[in-house]
Structure 1
Amino acid sequence: MGWHRELLIGFDLETTGTDIETDRIVTAAVVGLEPDGAVSTERTWLLDPGVAIPEEAAAIHGISTEHAREQGVPAPCAIEEITQVVAETLHAGTPLVVMNARYDLSLLDRECRRYGLEPLGERLGAGPSPVVDPLVIDKHVDKYRKGKRALHALCAYYGVPLDDAHNAKADAVAAARVARRMGEKYRPIGMMSLADLYDLQVRAAAEQSASLQAYLRRTTNPTAVVESAWPVVPPSR
C-alpha cells in the first residue's frame, strides 16, 4: 500500500527564532492524520520558554512574551511531554512527518539538554526514525523547480489547504497532508520502505547542503559552511 496510505503523525514547533543552539520552543503540536484524511489525535502545548519572545517571532506565530508567561506550561515539563510523545510515535514505527526536520528535531534535542532531560535519540537508542521531511523530499524529487520551498509554498504546489500558517497544529496537519500527496504523486517515493526512505533523505539532505554551501562560497561567502546532518544536527562539544 505504501507508507503514505497509512497513519501519519505530524509534528511542528513554533519558536523564539531560528538558531537551534539558543532559541526556545513556544508552541508544539503532534497530530494524527488517518488514511481517510481525518485528524484523529492531537496534542498541543503552549510553553513559557523562560526568555522573552522577540517581537519579530511573536508577529509570526502570534504568541507574546506576556501570553506565554501567563498561560504557558513551564518549559521543562512541556519538553519532557513532547519528547516522550514523539519517542512513543517513533517506537511504534509510525512515520513522523516534520517539515524541515533538521530544525525542529535539533531544537527539541537542545531543549532536552538545556534542562537535563533525556534527549530523543537516547530514548530511542538510535537516530530518530521513521521521519518523513517534505522539504528534503521535495528538493530531491523536483530539484530545479523555481520558487520558495517553505510550507505555505509546498501546500500551494501540492494543493493542500493551509488556513492558519504558523499555528503549530495547522502546520503539523498540513505537513502530513503534503507528505501524503508526495507519496501519491511520486510513486517510487510512496512505495519505498520507511527504512529506505530514511536513508534516501539522509543522502539527499547531505547533497542539498553541499550544493547550497558550494553556491554560497561562489557567490557571497567563501568560507560558508552548511550543516549536512539530518534529521538531527549533532550537538557541538
Structure 2
Amino acid sequence: GLAGMAMFMDPANAMNLVWAFVGFGVSLAVSFVGSVILFRDDVILEAEEVLAESTGEPAETFSQAFAPAELSAPVSGDCVALDTVKDEVFASGIMGKGTAFQWDGDTVYAPCSGKVAMVANTGHAIGFVAEGGQEILIHVGLDTVALEGKGFTPLKKAGETVSKGEAVLKVDRDYMKSRNVDLTTPMVITNAAQFQVEPMNVGSCVKAGQDIVLVCA
C-alpha cells in the first residue's frame, strides 16, 4: 500500500524504494485490468437471476438464444451519441454499446418486446431481455441513484412480459427540475459483445416507441 512505502527507504540502497513503487504500480495495473475483464455489474447479474427464477431456465440460456432485433426509442427527444454522456461508465462503453437521450415528457417506454429483467430498488433503472436475447439497460438520468427512488414510479415488475412501446416507468419532471437533475438517459446492450450493435438516428429528434435507435444483429 502507498501508506507503507516509507518502510522501503534504505540509505544504503536507494533503488529499494524505486522498485517498491514499481511493484505498487504493477499491482494497480493488474487489478484494474482484471476488474475490467471480469467485472459484471449487479444490475446485470440481478437481471439474469430474475429471469432464471421467472422461467425456470438457467440464466445462461438467455445469452445464447440470439436473434436480430430493432430497438425503438424509450423516450421522445434528442438521440445523442453514448460517448457524449457525462458519465464515464456509460461514455466509455464499459456497460455496453448503445445510445442516449436528452428528452422531454414524463414516461419511459419499452424499447422491445420481451421480459422485464429487473427494476432497480430506487426506480431509476430498468432492464429487459428482448425476444432476440439482447440484454438492455435503461438508466434514467445521471447520478439518480442518489435520489433513493424519489421522483420515479415503475409501472412494471421484474419477470413481467412487456410489448414494444408499452409504458414502463413514470418520472416526476417537476421534482427533477427542483433538484436540478440531469435526465440524460443512456440505453445500452449489456451483452453487446454477442452482437453487432449499430446506433441509428443519432443527432435526430426521435419519438418513443416508433423511431429505431439501435439495430442488433
Same fold? TM cut 0.5: no
What is the TM-score normalised by the length of structure 2? Answer: 0.26
Q: Which has the higher helix share?
A: 1
What is the TM-score normalised by the length of structure 1? Answer: 0.25
